[in-house]
Amino acid sequence: MLSRRLFAVLSAPTLALLSSSAGAQEVSEKDYFDELPVVLSVSRLAQPLNEVPGAVTVIDRDTIRRSGARDLTDLLRFVPGFVIGHINGANPIANYHGDFDALNRRLQVFVDGRSIYSGLLAGNVSHPMMGMVLDDIERIEVLRGSNSAAYGANAFSGVVNVVTRAATDVPRFSTSLALGEKGIADRSVRAAWGDERLAVRLTAARSGDSGFDDVIDDKRVDQFHLRADLRPSAADDVMLTAGSVRHQWGASDMLRSENWRNVFVQGQWRHNVDADNDVRFNGSFDEEKFVDQVYYFTLLGVPRPYRADGTGRRLSLEAEHTTRILPGLRLVWGGQLRHEEIRSPDLFKEQTALTAELRRVFGNVEWRLGEKWILNAGAMWEDHSVVGPHTAPRLSLNYHVLPGHTLRFGSTQAYRMPTMFELRGNWQTPSLPGSLVLASGGIKPERLVANEIGYVGEFRQLGLTVDLRGFEESGSSIARYFGGYPNDVVNKDRYRKRGWETQLRWKPRPETQLLFNHTVLKIRAWATGDTHISDELSAPSHTSGLVWFESLPAGFEFGLSYLTYGAMTWGGKNDVLDTQPRVDLRLARRFKIGGTQAEAAVVTHSATGSYQEGDPGRYFPRRTFATLRLDF
């Protein structure tokens, strides 16, 4: 009786709802005349490649999928001007046009607008770059060249902007597995759910391998990522991300254990005010922990632990307003506050936390001067609580010579703020008395002036795009560890990098994709002693790469990449690596099992045999592995 009444109460409004919604589901002229909110407002639209104030390489989802790469650094091989190396098999590094050291501190890397770097480990980006699952990435935009005026001091040599896939863009459930030689064992699971208003994706992944031959550098990366996309109204969208990453290496070393951990949360809210105004707010919190514990033996042969651990935290808040002032004049301006806190008695000989604040104000105008010219002018003013204020300006002029053919002239000045370790580091090793590094704190930002001429050509009929960049990058006040024992961090030496680089993308037919990169780079360095020799060899004088993707019948895919680097060194003048090629191969098949999309592949890295990378004696081995991915 009760249940029947309940049913009646429930069913009456439910039925009414159903019938009214059925009526609303029929098409009428209302569908043609209903107003819609502006969704893709000017600020949400990406600048086309021929109007960007710089050279940009985009690595899209399809390229990522077909690359056979296992981490982000590996993908940057496809970007002209990038130099990839390995400290060891577990620690790949990447820089643009050479970096004079293996600290990997002059590149800016963003993931969904969150700057990732280790504040604790001298601004290094290589650990954070291990902390992403490639299958979660929608595309990677690489800005070749410095862009401090738009992205701040870390964007000293280049910017890597990783855009992850929205929760709504991934299949409901995916799983992948890679197994192969050299201990390769990668696995991931991802689930996604939700609707137009709230969608969530969750990824858990573990990857690992045994690293290089004859080096204790086995690696394991455990990570967990969450992304939620909310759309409370048509004018608002909110993105929340959170995750944890644990990058561990050398676990098979009985005497030493090292790992780097990171947890983060981030929120971004974009609000469309009207057709010409958008605002964006972004906040993120990062915590990193570095553990380095090694047992050393005293003169009496007694093992003693030695640690170089630390914790870093940072909070970043950012607001940005994009406005169209006139039909051809767009302004983006905003500000950022960043608080950084580092605690490491081992690396700083300081029990309390060291803090630094960064305040930034930035602005950039894009001014369309008629049909042919686009002027981008911007500047960022940064005030670092220890170092003081600096301003980085940029000017770029794009000229559409003919439809599809654009020339670009740009000039910019950039600074790289010193890291906490460069300012306050005090590092001792157990084997020596006193400090190995003792920073006096007198360091000033590194400075770079870059001029460029670019060309972007699109030959639609041929399916060919051409990107050419000629550059001159003059740097001074390099932050160097200098003095011998102890080392201070001082501004020293200068350099000039000149050269050109090109990327050709050719799609002669829908099944074939070719990518050709070539970089010619001449570094001239002015430094004391023999340092200028290693400085001048810090990047190869030429780098060439060719990538070929072919879609074959029956769902088969073939991929080949060939890369050759000229001689270079990651260390001193005696550690010069020879010119060596690297060849990667991939054969895959995509097929369906019922409603499940499957992809099986066999990948070989360095197919022609091992080659030197990083320090001499470190060989990237030939390795073959099989992958299977299922999308449900």
Partner 1 sequence: MTYGSAWAAATIPVWVALSATGGVHAEAARALQVEVEQALPGRIDWRVAHWSSFTSAVPEPQWVVAIGTAAQRGMQDLFARDTTPPPLLSILVPRLAFERMVDPARLRAGSVSAVFLDQPPWRQLELIRLALPNVRKVAMLVGAESKGHLPALEKAAKERGFELAAAPVEPDGLFEALQSVLPNADVLLALPDPAVFNSQTAANILTATYRRQVPLLGFSPAYVKAGALLALYSTPAQVGVRGGESLRLALTGKALPAPQWPREFVVAVNQDVARSLGFALDESLIGQQLRHKERP
Residues near partner 1 (CB under 8 A)? 24-42, 44-51, 138, 166, 168-172, 195-196, 199, 231, 234, 237, 275, 403, 458, 460
- State the nearest-atom distance from the C-beta of 462 to partner 1, in Å: 12
CA dihedral 561, 128, 534, 55 (to 10 degrees): 60
Return left, alpha or beta for 462; rule: phi > 0 is left, psi -120 to 50 is alpha, else beta: alpha
* Minimum CB distance to partner 1 smaller for 46 or for 567: 46
Q: How far apart are alpha carbons 456 and 498 in whole angstroms?
A: 19
The answer to whether residues 217 and 211 touch, using CB atoms and an 8 Å cutoff, is yes
- State the nearest-atom distance from the C-beta of 376 to partner 1, in Å: 14
- State the nearest-atom distance from the C-beta of 166 to partner 1, in Å: 7
- State the nearest-atom distance from the C-beta of 31 to partner 1, in Å: 4
- State the nearest-atom distance from the C-beta of 120 to partner 1, in Å: 34
* Minimum CB distance to partner 1 smaller for 202 or for 263: 202
* Minimum CB distance to partner 1 smaller for 41 or for 413: 41
- State the nearest-atom distance from the C-beta of 46 to partner 1, in Å: 6
The structure tokens listed for 618 are 């470190």
- State the nearest-atom distance from the C-beta of 399 to partner 1, in Å: 15
* Minimum CB distance to partner 1 smaller for 298 or for 461: 461
* Minimum CB distance to partner 1 smaller for 4 or for 460: 460
The structure tokens listed for 243 are 């995750």
* Minimum CB distance to partner 1 smaller for 508 or for 609: 508
3-state secondary structure of 305: strand
> What amino acid occupies position 591?
F
* Minimum CB distance to partner 1 smaller for 170 or for 450: 170
> What amino acid occupies position 76?
L
* Minimum CB distance to partner 1 smaller for 42 or for 449: 42
- Whole-number Cα distances in Å, 124 to 97, 214, 251, 340: 17, 26, 21, 15
- State the nearest-atom distance from the C-beta of 374 to partner 1, in Å: 10
Q: How far apart are alpha carbons 595 and 573 in whole angstroms?
A: 58
Q: How far apart are alpha carbons 467 and 458 in whole angstroms?
A: 9
List of E strands, 16-153 = 55-60, 82-88, 91-96, 107-111, 114-115, 137-144
- Whole-number Cα distances in Å, 105 to 75, 358, 511: 18, 17, 39
497, β-bridge pairs: 473, 523
Closest C-alpha to 434, from 368, 363, 483, 375: 483
